[in-house]
Structure 1
């Protein structure tokens, strides 16, 4: 019996040794691998795709491209032995670049380089800068831009500060194809603004400069008279006392109004205690965690109605209500429900601005109509409503 056991152990040991030898690392040598061949270059904005045929070395580990990205910054881009192409990127203005393609094996040997010339077109930031449209807006300026390649960029807005120096006032981190943003907080006086676009490799455009006069507006102070108010036919409701309608104007986006609506659309109303001609409103989502943005009970779309007098007002929209606008909260990335980018979260944390038609009348009584939330449930939440305009 012992002989049988010893024999079995011996056989298993031999088999294991054979298997380890077969599956182990390639033998170490000092023979460099062959070079890539059949190289083709496809130039792109800010980079290039380089295709090639790999050498037939069994221990080939990678192919790398070595090139001068900008101003003597030598960088490498690697591709595995199973790929037949790699991408160079991060180049600014269009220029010819010598790219060295080098094969490497598992023994850390490298081939002599194959040298090719790539000539990337201008990086996306330059076309993005050219696409930027700027208009005067309430309290500042509004920008819109096109980013056809969906490149990761930063659009920085600067202006002259009280010391006469250029100072950054806003940065938009974005990769969406069609973007927009507003810079606010300025008096209605002509002001010089500068715009630059930067990518993640540090390439930056020249500064686009122009003067604009922000449109006049002031923040409407809720403490000047905002109060709960309901006309006939529109009953007041909230989910619990901790989530009352007063949370909409308590200047604290971390608290919220919560209501179980009997149906959608659902109207909530209040009195501002003053007559206001609106320029814009800002709405904050409920964000007890950042990942709650654009989901759950948060309102996705709504209508805003108003009236200067409460005489004759009731649930019927034709009883004196004037429509101020229909709005929706759009996720910048456009990703499916539950999927978020950093940009999505940043926009939600900053609040969502909606401009009011300049021809809309001044109003005192507000009717906010929920038309949809992100979960299609009957429970709805709004963290904060802020109003700007003139009294």
Structure 2
């Protein structure tokens, strides 16, 4: 008998549970009566949008206010505010035309009022202001593009180029899309010879709006990657010994600069920044350098990026002949460089965005001036690290130029 009672109770429990499951997403009650209409609204237009201040109805069961609007690209958006607010912000408009916005009040039974129709006329949208700042110029092996994004709006910078076969008047193909929400951006695309190419830039915002196009026709400067198989370590008087990590008495780690592995790193423990932390190496060939790439060490999937002993400020010096005394006679300053975190986030372990990480993993691009002399020997002078340590560490360096 007890067994049968248990079955009945279990069956009733299943029925009750099933009934609750079917109704759990429904309003507790539905009186079928729509709430009152929004009484009035005042519009303040802002760049790419509008602030709408309204007077809600007095219904006791009012739950939220909702605005619906459509952009020219066909995308529809909804914005809600709670019963405790009197303001809605609508965004995403790609121009300064007039748009209709319908505002509804919704009660706890999900009954919807008649709409209050308002017009908004957004000010110049951020995408247009960003577009005006785009600058493209020729660089070694390609094009360099910069832009300003004062409000750090999430954008995509779409870059297209003509083909070598069709020339600058032929069709263009998308070659790169840069995603950024940093206050400014600087990127380069390489791999082009010295023929004329048309490059075209366009901005897309998170709402699906597009800017106009900006075109430039350029002949990139010639460059080729220097053969790392020719690189050799040079030890000069006064240079800081670069050793194995956590082993000051170990062998030299300078060859890790050109092993094509940013997880491996060189470490120098006994420096005195900013005045006396240098090391030297031989490129193996006399070259007119165009640029270099510098990588932070990326161990642990970038665990220490922009932190600890990573170089923050350093100088790159070059010489055609080696001054074995360790003095600075015959050396030319090629670049005084600072590693900058694009997001501007404060210093700290793991304090970086995905964009910061992507740029670090891609390598920091360092361009040299067109008027620097030919060099064969490179001397690195580290002036500071991200955590202010008196020892430094980095992952990799690669050089490009013309050896003819």
TM range (shorter): 0.7 to 0.9
CA RMSD of aligned residues (A): 2.1
Give the Cα–Cα distance (whole angstroms) in 2 for the partners of residues 243 and 123 of structure 1.
Answer: 55
Contact (CA 8 Å) 1:291, 1:340: kept in 2 or not?
no
Give the Å deviation of 1:34.
Answer: 2.6
Give the Å deviation of 1:312.
Answer: 4.5
Residue by residue, what CA displacement relative to the aligned partner does 1:305-330 show, whole Å, maximum 9, x if unpaired?
1221114541x33x332211210000
Could you tell me which residue of structure 2 aligns to residue 332 of structure 1? 342
208-217 or 155-164, which moves further after superposition?
155-164
Question: What TM-score does the superposition give when structure 2 sets the normalisation length?
Answer: 0.84
Alignment partner of 1:248 is 2:250: no
Three-state SS of the structure 2 residue aligned to 1:343 is helix
Could you tell me which residue of structure 1 aligns to residue 93 of structure 2? 91
Structure 1 gap ranges (5+): 1-24
Contact (CA 8 Å) 1:291, 1:345: kept in 2 or not?
no
Give the Cα–Cα distance (whole angstroms) in 1 for the partners of residues 284 and 382 of structure 2.
Answer: 22
Give the Å deviation of 1:258.
Answer: 2.2
Could you tell me which residue of structure 2 aligns to residue 231 of structure 1? 236
Give the Å deviation of 1:296.
Answer: 1.9
Contact (CA 8 Å) 1:301, 1:371: kept in 2 or not?
yes
Could you tell me which residue of structure 2 aligns to residue 342 of structure 1? 354
Residue by residue, what CA displacement relative to the aligned partner does 1:217-274 show, whole Å, maximum 9, x if unpaired?
1111111x21111122325331345881111011222322222233223111111121
Contact (CA 8 Å) 2:164, 2:195: kept in 1 or not?
no
Contact (CA 8 Å) 2:136, 2:216: kept in 1 or not?
no
Give the Cα–Cα distance (whole angstroms) in 2 for the partners of residues 387 and 328 of structure 1.
Answer: 18
Contact (CA 8 Å) 1:277, 1:361: kept in 2 or not?
yes
Question: What TM-score does the superposition give when structure 1 sets the normalisation length?
Answer: 0.87
Contact (CA 8 Å) 1:155, 1:198: kept in 2 or not?
yes
Residue by residue, what CA displacement relative to the aligned partner does 1:104-156 show, whole Å, maximum 9, x if unpaired?
11111222111100112343222322221111111111112222332211111
1:386 pairs with 376, 380, 398, which one?
Answer: 398
205-214 or 31-40, which moves further after superposition?
31-40
Give the Å deviation of 1:353.
Answer: 0.9
What is the 5 A alignment of 1:203-352? 203-223=209-229, 225-239=230-244, 240=247, 244-265=253-274, 266-288=277-299, 289-314=301-326, 316-317=327-328, 319-338=329-348, 339-352=351-364
Contact (CA 8 Å) 1:160, 1:167: kept in 2 or not?
yes
What is the 5 A alignment of 1:98-109? 98-109=100-111
Give the Å deviation of 1:206.
Answer: 3.0
Q: 1:346 to 1:143 in 2, by over 3 A?
A: same
Give the Å deviation of 1:27.
Answer: 6.2
Alignment partner of 1:201 is 2:207: yes
Give the Cα–Cα distance (whole angstroms) in 2 for the partners of residues 92 and 43 of structure 1.
Answer: 13
Contact (CA 8 Å) 2:240, 2:271: kept in 1 or not?
no
Q: 1:37 to 1:148 in 2, by over 3 A?
A: farther
The number of aligned residues is 364
Three-state SS of the structure 1 residue aligned to 2:243 is coil
Three-state SS of the structure 1 residue aligned to 2:321 is coil
Contact (CA 8 Å) 2:318, 2:379: kept in 1 or not?
yes
